[in-house]
Every structure is written in C-alpha cells, then in structure tokens.
Amino acid sequence: MTIAIWNSRYETGIEIIDAQHQDLFAAVNQLADSFHEGRAQDQTGPSLDFLIRYTTEHFQTEEQHMREIGFPYWMEHAEEHTRLLEKAEALQADHALGKVVTMELVIFFADWLKHHINDVDLQYVEFLKEQRRED
C-alpha cells in the first residue's frame, strides 16, 4: 500500500539526502503494508523500529550537512527533528508495551515527511543555491 509517493518536487539535488528521503518513503510504505496485510502486532514492530532507526540516521546526515554548509538555522531545523523523534520513540514504547499502533500513525509519518521535505529541508537547499550563486 503506497501512501507516500515520491515525486520530483521533493528533490533537494543533494545525492545522499535524496537517496535517504526515498528510502524513508519506502520505509513508511512498508509500515503501511504491514497494516494493510493485517499482520500481527509483533510483526509491525520491526518495520516501526527500522523506520525510527533510519530516520535517526538520516537526521544525523542532514544536520551534519547543514553545519558543513554553514546554514544559519540548522539548530532550529535540528529541533524539529528532535521533536519528531521524541514523538516516534514514545509511540515505539507504546507499541512495545502492547498498545496497538494504528494506521493514523503511518499517515502521520507520511504527512510529516512530505511537509518537512517540502517546507523545511528546502530552506537549506535554497541557502546552498544562494551561496553557489554568490561564488
């Protein structure tokens, strides 16, 4: 079940970031699949764990990149990452305690990802383009 469809609007032009964003879309869709196929609660755990682990890794890559290019708002951006991870980890803990994770969670992840890439990530992409124009 595809709920997060990649499209060129999401392209940052930075190879590693684009590859990771596409992997995140795939991970969200994989989690959606585990619900769609009605897999047991214990089988959605690994998909959720993978999504959170990969998101954490991706955020580290992005934050390092923002610091490297001297993006002045990298801390605010990193705070948004932290807020999502806190929320995701709280849901993961609920899941581990046996609380059923619902499709709304998957939709939340998909919406967050699309909004974040389009509205937040593209700010440092614009900054990078400006820098290159000035050089």
- The residues binding Fe ion (CB under 5 A) are 62, 121
CB-nearer residue toward Fe ion: 101 or 121 = 121
Tell me the closest approach of the beta carbon of residue 37 to Fe ion, in angstroms. Answer: 30
The alpha carbon dihedral of 11, 110, 59, 81 has a sign of: positive
One-character DSSP codes across 30-45: HHHHHHHTT--HHHHH
Closest separation in Å from C-beta 34 to Fe ion: 25
Question: Closest separation between CB of residue 58 and Fe ion, Å?
Answer: 8
Q: Which is nearer to Fe ion, 58 or 95 (CB)?
A: 58
Q: Which is nearer to Fe ion, 44 or 62 (CB)?
A: 62
Smallest distance from Fe ion to CB 6, Å = 16
State which residue, 57 or 94, has the beta carbon closest to Fe ion. 57
Candidates 87, 84, 89, 88; CA nearest to 120 is 84
